[in-house]
Structure 1
Amino acid sequence: MSACVSAANARQVLASTSPTVFTAWATQGTSRRRGHPPSFPLLQCTVSRLLRAYPADAAHLPILKRSLPSAHSSARALLFQCAIETVCSSPHPMEARAGGSSSDCDQLKSLSSNLNGKGKDRDLCIPVYSAPEVLQKLKSKWDSVEKQPYRAMYSSVFGGITVDPTMMVIPLDDHMVHRGHGVFDTAMILDGYIYELDDHLDRLLGSASMAKIAPPFPKSTLKSILIQTTAVSQCKRGSLRYWLSAGPGDFLLSSAGCPTSAFYAVVVEEDYVPLEQGVKVTTSTVRMKPPEFATMKSVNYLPNVLAVLEAEEKGAYTSIWVDDDGYVAEGPNVNVAFISPSKELLLPSFDKILGGCTAKRLITLAAALVDQGLLKSVCVENITVDQAKGSAEMMLVGSGLPILPITMWDEQPIGDGKVGELTLALSDLLWQDMVLGPETHRIPVPYV
């Protein structure tokens, strides 16, 4: 139902409409149990509020006695027309119960059709929906999606798993939504296994501690929830994304009003494959987060978003952050690594950036290439921009890649400007570990 009315027109309607109908509205305050729409009692109260603000004559006094504190005039006017339209379209005409006549309802219908003003008096017409109508709207959105990517969601708010994307929502008063007071992490699902779940969970809990969020469950329970959610999803390849929040409660800064923290998880079906095509990057002019925030995987990602948008505007895949001391830091949501001209694998120190689980796993696996003589060594150290741009090979490292070759930085070729052999060798090592590695790093999903 849509409604559009000005406060001035509402006053005119109240002054010229028979009080019989209004009395009927007010005397049906408990009509929800009598078959009326769930929103009907609200409309009854709205009429009372309107009459308190704009009394027409003494005949309205019975309703004024039941009136509630007045609301904002534009809101009263808007809901007033809702009341007119609802009552006039009711399958149980009010005037029949209150001794009114059909002309009262006809009068209301006529006035309702003329409430839309012209020019400056014209108000925006906003639909007012019941809960079933909202759900139907949301369902129709997802019904139009050819392939549903969100396969399952867990929410501690309702304490279970849903596979209906319409229900995959979180409360607006969750402090993660309106204050950014939340942390998150992601694990990959490959061929029915969850990769590096324990390491990602440990990082999540470390971030939560830094953000002063006490988890609602111990690690073992969080892990069980994530595995069960993946099992219900039936997803064999994709990502498992999860959040710890200060929880819903109010719209203040402090989380003291939140009864408990919240945990959410969603399984996203995605077809991950090794990436072998080189991309170009640019140096970000967006300031990176200070270390106390950069080392925490929080939901405060606006600098990260702006850094990616800046890169895309320049025709690059992503950007690279350089810290205030002139050392290479990281990408907006990935680590970065280099192969030096002397075949050393170099990664920036993790002191001021997020400690990437995939990057740390790469450091361990790369030892095999050192043993084979393909790499000279593996080092984690401060790397200057000149040193980085003078490297033979460069790559992004992250869970969803796991390695993406970089062939150009700030329009300057890296090495010979081609994808390097050692970059591809490291990519093969990581990919093999993700799909065939030991079950100490891969958890089989007990699909239902």
Structure 2
Amino acid sequence: MPDYANPPILTPEQAVARLQALPRPWAGDYLAMYSNWLGGIVTEPWLMSAPLDDHLVHRGDGVFEATKCLHGRIYLLQRHLERLHHSAAGIHLAPPLSRAQLTSLAQAVVRAGGEKDCMLRIYLSRGPGGFTTNPFECPEPGLYLMAGRIHPPAETAYEKGVQVGVSRVPSKSGFFASVKSCNYLPNVLLKREAVSRGWDFAVCLDAEGHLAEGSTENIGLVDQEGRLLLPRPDNILEGTTVRRAVELAQDMVSQGALAGVERRALRVADLEQAAEAMLFGTTLDVLPVTRLDGRPIGSGQPGPVARELLRRLRQDILHNPAMSTPAWE
């Protein structure tokens, strides 16, 4: 048993040896990490860390983005970097690199990971400097890029659809909803409730009882008139995937497969009465929702709009070079 009254004071060599020997069964998917404090990329998980006094760690003071690389191309990277800069500006945090430099660095981290299908996460932090809430004690920001293996839902989820439930956790509001900050406690509680209650995903409501978003997903539905309806962006973080899906849906409107695309205030009753529903997200693409807390939505089967949007989005990922950035030439 450890003696917590007299823990050992470790030498640097002992601390490094213990860190290296520590079992990390959760780290098998970690491929590569860049840290501006190291000034380079590491591929050993035991070296992948951020300083404890970085305000990202103890205050959630930072912003981030998560995108994916498929077949060696990073999908929607420039749109993710645009949102990263928007979020950073919202919290008065200046990125230490230009967008072109961040692009080059993202490509290098993905290549260092060695797998052409992976997730890429970019964290921009207030940086180390102390343990108060004062952001001015941090002399310069931190920057971390992480490549890891990607785990999309099983194909059976697309074939059968998934179940959502309405969470008791309130949505973020206004400004805090529009900034992709590293303070994700409400999102964590959303996911915890979904898992605890046997749902695949949970969606939250805003203060007025309108549908907002999932822990990392946007929600949409098709009403009985054939319109694709999405929550207003007031109290949600509108994702890059749903924005791209809306662009792809315009052609479906022209072809008569959709009556229109609208953003409006939506209530749980709209979801209950929908012809079909779906979730949008970086790892999900377009995922059909067929049950609401055990009750069927529409026919209880994936609907034609969700299936067609999924097909179009996957084609966009694979065959539209304008929407992706090559990590390998």
1:130 aligns with 2:11: yes
1:356 aligns with 2:236: no
Look up the equivalent residue of 2:67 and give its one-letter code. Answer: A
Alpha-carbon distance between aligned partners in 1 of 2:293 and 2:29, rounded to the nearest angstrom: 35
Which of 26, 37, 41 is the matching residue for 1:157? Answer: 37
* SS of residue in 2 equivalent to 1:404: strand
* SS of residue in 1 equivalent to 2:211: coil
**Residue aligning to 1:68:** none
Contact residue 171 and residue 235 of structure 2 kept, 8 A: no
**Residue aligning to 2:74:** 194
Which of 319, 322, 327 is the matching residue for 1:440? Answer: 322
1:391 aligns with 2:271: no
**Residue aligning to 1:206:** 86
Encode CA deviations 1:98-122: one digit per residue, 9 max, x unaligned: xxxxxxxxxxxxxxxxxxxxxxxxx
Contact residue 392 and residue 416 of structure 1 kept, 8 A: yes
- Name the structure where strand makes up a greater proportion of residues: 2
1:406 aligns with 2:289: yes
* Deviation (angstroms), 1:371: 2.9
> Taking structure 2 as the reference length, what is the TM-score of the superposition?
0.93
* Deviation (angstroms), 1:132: 2.6
Contact residue 215 and residue 244 of structure 1 kept, 8 A: yes
Contact residue 173 and residue 206 of structure 2 kept, 8 A: no
Alpha-carbon distance between aligned partners in 2 of 1:131 and 1:310, rounded to the nearest angstrom: 41
**Residue aligning to 2:230:** 347
* Deviation (angstroms), 1:388: 2.1
**Residue aligning to 2:124:** 244
* SS of residue in 1 equivalent to 2:171: coil
Gaps of 5+ in 2: none
> Taking structure 1 as the reference length, what is the TM-score of the superposition?
0.69
Q: Which moved more, 1:239-248 or 1:417-426?
A: 417-426
Distance 1:3 1:140, change over 3 A: closer
Larger Rg: 1
Alpha-carbon distance between aligned partners in 1 of 2:46 and 2:195, rounded to the nearest angstrom: 31
Alpha-carbon distance between aligned partners in 1 of 2:89 and 2:146, rounded to the nearest angstrom: 22
1:333 aligns with 2:216: yes
Distance 1:414 1:336, change over 3 A: same
**Residue aligning to 1:378:** 261
1:233 aligns with 2:116: no
Alpha-carbon distance between aligned partners in 2 of 1:393 and 1:224, rounded to the nearest angstrom: 41
* Deviation (angstroms), 1:137: 2.7
Q: Which stretches of structure 1, 4 residues or more, deviate above 6 A after TM superposition?
A: none
Alpha-carbon distance between aligned partners in 1 of 2:91 and 2:271, rounded to the nearest angstrom: 33
* Deviation (angstroms), 1:135: 2.5
Gaps of 5+ in 1: 5-122
Alpha-carbon distance between aligned partners in 1 of 2:27 and 2:132, rounded to the nearest angstrom: 38
RMSD over aligned CA atoms reads 2.0
Q: What percentage of residue pairs aligned between the two structures are identical?
A: 36
- Name the structure where helix makes up a greater proportion of residues: 1
Which of 182, 200, 204 is the matching residue for 1:321? Answer: 204
Look up the equivalent residue of 1:423 and give its one-letter code. Answer: A
* Deviation (angstroms), 1:179: 1.0
Which of 310, 314, 319 is the matching residue for 1:431? Answer: 314
1:257 aligns with 2:257: no
Q: How many residues align?
A: 326
**Residue aligning to 2:248:** 365
Look up the equivalent residue of 1:358 and give its one-letter code. Answer: T
* SS of residue in 1 equivalent to 2:299: coil
Alpha-carbon distance between aligned partners in 2 of 1:411 and 1:147, rounded to the nearest angstrom: 34
Encode CA deviations 1:363-411: one digit per residue, 9 max, x unaligned: 0011222233222212222222212221011111011101221111133
* SS of residue in 1 equivalent to 2:234: coil
Mapping of residues 16-31 of structure 1, within 5 Å: none
Which of 152, 160, 184 is the matching residue for 1:301? Answer: 184
* Deviation (angstroms), 1:283: 0.9
